[in-house]
Structure 1
Amino acid sequence: MATSHEIITPPAVRNWLLASADPTQADLLRESFATDVEYDFDGRRRVGIDAVLEQLGHMPRGRFANVSRRVIDRGSGRYTVRLSNPDGTPMPSPGGPMLAMDFELGLNQRGLIQTISPNPQHAEPADLQPALRLGDVIPEFSLPDVHGVDTRWFDPSAKASVLIFIANGCPWALGWHDRIQDVVRDYRQQGVRVVQINANDERVSAADALDASRRRIDAGEFASPLLIDEGQTVARRLGARHTPEVFVIDRDHELAYHGAPDADSERPELHAEWLRAALDGVLADAPVTLRETKPMGCTIKWTL
């Protein structure tokens, strides 16, 4: 049941609303949180009041000062605080236009915020296709690399292929970057072709300008081709939405795995284990045990 925040009884929720509207009220958050509060945003987890407050301090809360606020009571101590423009127009953000910004809050028995998870509702292009399903055939396509050379993703001699949508400035993409390049090197001799794709609109994300991608390639930061999906036709056709987002494809062009490289971009010891396990299964002609996970990271910066 949706209710207005004036009649929501939990003080912690009211304090959250005040702090989101007025950065000078940030101390209210400390009063609202349990000492062992947990913050989770796309696999990036923080535990403890100080760690969570530090994380929230990186968010430019002041930009939400003039938006409308709606509290949705989900029951059982769960609330959604939804911030949006009163006229329904998208809100600008570093990640691209947002239709709304949701904060999912879970309260403990004392009425303090125990869990918090941001959930941005980014605007998507009308022709963005649904996410591919396992077993779907990946269409053939070609894209220019950073030097303008037209490049096909498919190599007939490859025993498996990997498509990965990446970004130059996304902290998730950067966190997984070295692990992904290690996969490219480790599996190259086993007949695996990896193609990395940047589909971000540089007008939304200056870090993804062609010159910036070219500099990274020329500096040797990538172990496989980096293709530029300038018109975003491939990303829209494949239903890609995040950076990074991984598609493992078998020799019959069928999707064998879709999701994240592993469970946490901040834990290099995980070694892209989900991606590696999928490739091992495809190369052995064995069933892939974990075939689908939630892609985690920044949203693709769409041209709307």
Structure 2
Amino acid sequence: MELDKIAATAAAALESDWAHLAVGLFLVWLAANLVRRFVTDRVGDADHRYKLRKAFTFLSYLAAVLVTAAVFSRQLGGLSVAFGVAGAGIAFALQEVIASVAGWLAIMFGGFFKVGDRVQLGGIKGDVIDIGVLRTTVMQIGEWVDADQYNGRIVRVANSFVFKEPVYNYSADFPFLWDEILVPIKYGSDHAFARRLIQSVAEEVVGGYAREAEAAWALVRGRYLTEPAGVEPVVSLVANENWIAFTLRYVVDYKSRRSTKDRLFTRLLEEIDAAGDRVGVAAATLNIEKLAPLEVRLRPAADGQAAAS
């Protein structure tokens, strides 16, 4: 049969073609390692070094595929029909792999995220430390660790995820977040003075972030259809049955939420202590006032002893 003749011809040519393939792949491997050693390792900037290493790795894979195609070009031409029939089954079996490769292309050219960005992919939140052809590697934050701190766990997520779930990027176009803290002030304090005190501390601690965020938001408005956003620290007041609740809303660098809260509360406590009796921090306490009079009457008991009623 015609297919048997094609297969016999291909098998006869394989003996020399395999040797050519081995030499070609060895040369590709040697060139890739030389470039990595004498080019990428000499780049001082870590970000540029990473990008060069990934680019040369991709080019080496591409060169290996081209060498393989060139060596077996005659056999591939004769087996094109067989490959066409097997292609449908291979595509079905490797659909997740194909989707991951497509996801990698979307990430690289679609601007979903880049190395160094803080993202949330489904339930995984962390900093992107590597983007591979099949998987994205994330240094996870949170979980059993409070605030946005590394927990030491490295997670690899299939790139096909970008087509299935939302991708939350904390640092792409606007590398700031809005955050809030609650400051409870007890009743009887000078609430107007307390508002000025909190506002002053906010300007001192996070005022610089507001100016940087304003410039960054201008770039966002130039790219997207968004409204003007208030990035200056804002203090609002709510009076409830327990205390006067002041809420401070401010913008902060996405990697500095915890340290910024620490600085804010430290300065607030220092200023409140310095204010003396004008301002006091509220605490959850139970005050009993105007207790109703309690009347006790005694009557003789049957056994001769007094009993309360």
TM-score range, shorter chain: under 0.3
- In terms of fraction of residues, the more strand-rich structure is 1
Higher RCO, 1 vs 2 (CA within 8 Å, ≥6 residues apart) = 1
- In terms of fraction of residues, the more helix-rich structure is 2
* TM-score where L is the length of structure 1: 0.23
